[in-house]
Structure formats: C-alpha cells, structure tokens
Structure 1
C-alpha cells in the first residue's frame, strides 16, 4: 500500500490497482490521490503489466470528482494537496499507455473520476452505480474528456443531457447506450473485470498491444486515415516472429479439421 493506493498482481501480466479513501468529505479525489495513482500506473507498466484493472475500496463509490479545495487553491495561486498534472498523467497512461485498462466500477462515480473511467479501454460496472458529470452545477466544465470522450461512447444527445443537467445516468442506462462492456450485480465488478483481464492477458501480447494502439490512435483520425493506420500497425503484427509461429500453428489446426469455435471461442 502506497498512500491510499494498493497494487496487487492477481495473475501473470494483470495488475489490480485499488484506490482508497483520500480522507476528504464526499470521498472526492484529491490531487495527492491522483498523483499517487499516476505513479502506480507508471510502476506497473514498467513491470510489464499487460492488463490493468482500476478499482476502488470505498463502499458505494468508485472515483468521484476532484477535491474542490484543490481547484480553488490552484486558481488562487496556493498549493494543492499534490501535483494537478496527476490527472493528465493518469488519463494518458490509462487511455494511451501500452497496457489494456479496465475500470471495475463498484459504485457512484462523477466528474474527473468518470473521466478517468471514460478513458479506460473497457468498463465493468455494478448495477447500483450512477455516473454523473456535475461540473455545470459547480460553475465549471468537463476538463479531461467528460464531454468529448463521452460523446464518442454514447452519442451527442445523451451526453448533452448529462453535461447540461448535471443529473446522473444509471449503470443500466449507460450499459444500454454502449458505455459499459459488462453490467454485474453488486459486489461483482472486480471479479468480472479480473475474469476479462485474465482472458486478454492470455492472448498474444504483441497483438493486444497493437490493437490497443490502433484503438487509441483511431480516436484522432478520420476514417481514411484510420484505415491506413490500421494497415500500418497490422503489417508490423503480421511480420512479428511470434505472430508467424501462431499463424502457422492455427492454420495447421484448421487443416486438421478444427472449427472456429474450437480454436477461438472454446473458453467463452
């Protein structure tokens, strides 16, 4: 445990990072907490994590919005509880780092916490969780993707409702809109996220890393550019020595009569 961040390795290649209570009212995320989170993400990536699950140990809450006293102090030229760049470092590592990231959401999440979740590759949430971007009620704005990234996930119409009313979305509605990958009963978010992470970690690492890169870069490209970039990354993957071994072995199994189900989906 470092500060209020705990890191565990449930299986090879999978890091579970759990954020604890930052010690402020409302379980808000302080600059100190998000700085510690960014540091923890950097460490597990350096230690070759292929999948990172981001969880919370706070009952009823995943990651809530920023500690407002930090923001006020920064605007007034006073010190915050930690480096505010931790927000941007964490988001960059979650969204564009080499490891696949899964948000295991056990409860309500808001503001900057939601934005960290939107930045993850996959999201698993418990059915009682609520998601909100309350910045408009605070007199502020969504600074790290609460509008632009959410709009790509669930569309402009519902995003407008979220950011203009400050009212929450239920996990059920967010799942139906395509903003969640899994909707699970209370207490099951981490378990389901780890099941998903073990499957991803079992796949060829060069391909998983390449597809993560492809997904991230596609967000900033138009369709034609995206297809060109897909092809560039794919050509490198096809030529990877491990991929050549895998392709030969899989084709041999097809030639021997095995089916798609037997080769790819037998564990699903």
Structure 2
C-alpha cells in the first residue's frame, strides 16, 4: 500500500482546485520539502487559467500543527536566508487568486500563519489556533504578529503571542479570525461550497476586490478609498458588468465570461 502524497493537488470542480497536506505522522507539520511543494503547487495553479479559487486543507483531522522543530532547531540566521524558509508564505500572500483555508484540528505556529495568508478561513468547531513559538525561544516569523495585529487587534494579539495560549474556534471566530465555524469534519465541504460560489462570480470583479483589499490594508484610509473607487469605476468598462446588470433587470441568471 502506497503512502499518500504529502502534498496532493486536484481539481475539485469547475474553477476550484484543492491542495491537501498529508503528513499524519507529524500532524502535518511543515518542513522545507513540504513548504516547497505547497509553494510550487500554488504557483502552478496561478498559471492555470481554469482555476479561480484554491482551497488549502490538511488530511487526517489536522490542518498544520506547526513547523518541524527538529529541522529548524539547528538553523542559523544565515541558513534561514539561504534556504528561503519563508518562500511558501510569500507565495501564498502574493497569490492573485482567492485562497480558502479549510481547518480541522490544529492550526498552530506556521500552520496558523498559513491560514492567515488565505482570504477566508473555514474551521471545524474543534479547531485550535495559536502562535506558540514563544515557548520554544522564538517568535512568529511568517506573519503571526503582523497579520494577527491587523486581524484581531493589538491586545488580543499580544496575549496570544506572548503566552503561546491557544484559541478555540469559537474564540477565534469571535475575535474576527474566521469566516465561518462548521461541525467537525465539515470544513472542507463547506470551503468547497464557498469556493464554487466565488468561482461562479465575475472574475474581473473578484480580482479587483482581492487587489484592493491586499493593497489597501497597508495604505492610509483616504488613499485606500481612492483605490477602491478607481477599481469600482473601471469595472463599468467590462462585459461582465453589462451582463450582470442586464441579467438582474431581466430576472435571469447572469453568464459571466471574465471580459
């Protein structure tokens, strides 16, 4: 019997692809090889015009329990730079397509940071989130402080990263970290349902929304609002805008083409 591919890629439906991490013996902990495989899979899907939404999930009741400490422990600062240990996170953050994390079980350390790179997070009610790096003498290094600061605010973030305590799915949702909580075992089906809905939306509008959110979060509010307005107006030069509004007025389903 063959072991499952530790990073499996498949097309789930029209416009939707799924990347599944399966390293059950280590609770799907990230090592350099796995991170490289995930980054390459995302880049391949970026280049695939048929894919509009990517779902990232973990097999065997875990999302990602962290980064492989045994591999990381002897590393020097120079090795981190030379090995590009943050490459996967950079690829995920820069991905122009919609990313949805489907989380069951643990999303800790690098696993939590992986989820934070996504546009939406759907979690089973038994999921746990946290940045426990402080407990092994380091700190989050792939967005754990900055993404959490932007997402849940300074005071909740500081408690989380300075104590290493975990958040339940309910607490994470209340803090604004999750898109939805679902019954355990349902995160992937629900993420796929959302992905199919988004994949059926007008592609240029989807891309414009992601672009203004990504760029706008680091800009002063007035500048971000101007960016949003510009993108809004430009969509009135698309066929999908004409089709969407005509379909609404004619009380029929729209047929979007991405033009």
Instruction: Give your verdict on TM over 0.5.
Output: yes
2:225 corresponding residue in structure 1: 227
- Look up the match of 1:245: 243
Contact 1:55–1:105 at 8 Å: present in 2 too?
yes
SS of equivalent residue, structure 1 residue 74: coil
Cα gap change, 1:76/1:197 in structure 2, threshold over 3 Å: closer, same or farther?
A: closer
Q: CA deviation at 1:3?
A: 4.8
Map residues 112-261 of structure 1 onto 2, 5 A cutoff.
112-250=110-248, 252-253=249-250
User: Do 2:24 and 2:59's aligned partners in 1 also have CA atoms closer than 8 Å?
Assistant: no
Between stretches 3-12 and 68-77, larger displacement belongs to: 68-77
Aligned to 2:257: none
Kindly indicate whether the alpha-carbon contact (under 8 Å) linking 1:22 and 1:29 is maintained by their aligned counterparts in 2.
no
> Is the 1:102–1:124 Cα contact (8 Å) retained in structure 2?
yes
Residue number in structure 2 paired with 1:63? 64
**CA distance change for structure 1 residues 76 and 3 in 2, over 3 Å: closer, same or farther?**
farther
Question: Aligned partners of 1:34, 1:214: CA distance in 2, in Å?
Answer: 27
Contact 2:18–2:56 (8 Å) recurs in 1: yes
CA distance in 2, matches of 1:76, 1:98: 30
Q: Does 1:87 align with 2:86?
A: yes
1:12 is aligned to: 14
Measured in 2, the distance between the counterparts of 1:212 and 1:226 equals: 13
TM norm structure 2: 0.88
Mapped contact 1:31–1:87 kept (Cα < 8 A): no
Q: Distance in 1 between matches of 2:9 and 2:152?
A: 31
For the aligned residue pairs, the C-alpha RMSD in angstroms reads: 2.4
Secondary structure of the residue that 1:147 maps to in structure 2?
Answer: helix
1:85–1:209 Cα change, 3 Å? same
TM-score with structure 1 length normalisation? 0.85
